[in-house]
Amino acid sequence: KQLGVALVGLGKYSTGQLAPALQQTKLCKLAGIVTGSPEKAAKWKQQYSLPDQNIYDYKTFDRIVDNPAIDIVYVVLPVGMHAEYVERAARAGKHVICEKPMAPTAEECRRMISAMQKAGKKFSIGYRLHFEPHHQEMMRLGQQQTLGPIKRLVADNGFRFNNDTPWRVDKELAGGGPLMDMGIYCVQGVIYTKGQLPVSVTAKLAPNPDPKGLFKEVEAGVNWQMQFADGSVADCRTSYAENLNSRLRAETAKGFMELQPAFGYGGLQGRTSQGPMNLENVPQQARQMDDFADCVLNNKPTRVPGEMGLRDVQLLQAIYRAAATGQKVSTKDVVAVLDKT
Ligand code: NAD
């Protein structure tokens, strides 16, 4: 059986990535949509042969409880709307995937987790790179210390934002700026390569080129460092003001391993001090959604649970606190969840 997925929010990511990926998945398929736009509803209905009864708007969404064709609700809305729609999907008794970052605050994340627990349904965050071969190789090399223990990591991810999706610079809808949107990949990559959580963070905001305009409510960029118990560190950067290298690198006493480009939907390339990784680029979102469907069908735990989403929001908040105070901030109270290979 292929599980039915309903996409909530038909913006760039749903249109450009998730809906096409759901044509390639084996264990799940696009079965429904939730949109505020009658034009999009008509277009998608035709393009993907969706039956009328599987098309909802934001008001009728709760009726999805009565629809056995929808097994999984995938929330692809601005970050500030994630909690409401995850909680409503939980009340409708559906399994849920929620896009990253999970929510603007840890408190909302906890509410989402407890709503999903109460519903007794599976819950994951849209962390596609955990299912991607280059990133899985970084996890393997780092966690198994193939080249020796990691002494230093570097992660950069950022782009020049052109305001095509204005919610991304709206504090309430985005929860923050590039750190929430792009920096989260650095935090994630560093942790699954090192195989440990940091013990503290320090951070500094980048100069803001447009404090009265584009970056009135959110930061234009952040440089931060994550410190680990063994004395190793990760130096990270994110920005909406400049195109940064998309890069994840780990250095050991014996050598290095690195991905560049590291965080895109395809075209990833990896190398170690011993040579190129020569790994395949795969349809990431199809793998990610099929893995979740497999977890639902076979009652397995997901590698990217709500608790990991909460962990990352707690870390991002610690980084904001470090930037605001100029102080080192302890991360010892962050929920301890790791993706161990
Ligand atoms: P987008 O702006 O293109 O899409 C957002 C959708 O939400 C639109 O269809 C919009 O109509 C709808 N919407 C409903 N209420 C809205 C409101 N009040 N304000 C603005 N839009 C509203 O954004 P996107 O790039 O598709 O991002 C959507 C989600 O997907 C975000 O959580 C984002 O972080 C995530 N995302 C994840 C990845 C990934 O690689 N995992 C990539 C891109 C986006």
Tell me if residue 185 is catalytic.
yes
**Ligand 1 mean position, distance from CA 329 (Å):** 31
Indicate if 161 and 72 belong to the same structural domain: no
Q: Whose CA is nearest to atom 10 of ligand 1?
A: 11
Tell me if residue 100 is catalytic.
yes
What ipTM score was computed for the predicted complex, to two decimals? 0.99
Residue 323, domain extent: 129-279+305-330
Q: Is the pTM of this model over 0.90?
A: yes
**Ligand 1 mean position, distance from CA 19 (Å):** 14
Reported as a single tens digit per residue, the pLDDT across 267-296 is 999 999 999 999 999 999 999 999 999 999
Reported as a single tens digit per residue, the pLDDT across 61-107 is 999 999 999 999 999 999 999 999 999 999 999 999 999 999 999 99
**Ligand 1 mean position, distance from CA 172 (Å):** 14
- CATH code for the domain of 147: 3.30.360.10
Indicate if 185 and 111 belong to the same structural domain: no
- Is residue 320 a contact partner of residue 171, using CB atoms and an 8 Å limit? no
Indicate if 111 and 141 belong to the same structural domain: no
Domain contains 288: no
- Between CA 322 and CA 327, with CA 323 as vertex, the angle to 5 degrees is 40
Q: So what's the pLDDT on residue 1?
A: 86
Domain contains 263: yes
Number of domains in the chain: 2
CB of residue 28 inside a 6 A radius of ligand 1? no
- CATH code for the domain of 21: 3.40.50.720
Q: Which of 94, 100, 122, 194 is catalytic?
A: 100
